[in-house]
Amino acid sequence: MLTHVVLFKFADPAAAKTAAAKLAAMEGRIETLRGIEVGLDVSKSARSFDVALITRFDDQAGLAAYAVHPVHLEVVAYIKANAEKSIVVDF
């Protein structure tokens, strides 16, 4: 099992909510995506990011297929246009 975690920072809270909804809507639409969790930050601390994405795949090939899937790319386009920063870890 491979877990892919991404945190996103947005200047606009409405964009963060829209991004979270778009990310959650990927569920069941990408064959290699085995699990997905999306959350909006509630602490609002100076260290916080606004949106967390946790996805799970069988292996790195599954993550690679997800990365180029049209459903994912549509969400990526929105996030790239609206997010200030993101960080990622895969384990």
Reading the block at residue 37, the tokens are: 């969790």
Which CATH number is 56's domain given?
3.30.70.100
Contact between 10 and 19 (Cβ < 8 Å): yes
* Residues 6 or more apart whose Cβ sits within 8 Å of residue 59: 2
Structurally, the chain folds into a number of domains equal to 1
pLDDT (tens digit per residue) in 36-80? 999 999 999 999 999 999 999 999 999 999 999 999 999 999 999
In this prediction, residue 85 carries a pLDDT of 98
Residue with tokens 């996103």, as numbered in its chain: 8
In this prediction, residue 30 carries a pLDDT of 98
In this prediction, residue 1 carries a pLDDT of 97
Structural domain harbouring 68: 2-90
Report in angstroms the alpha-carbon separations of 72 from 8, 23, 38: 15, 8, 14
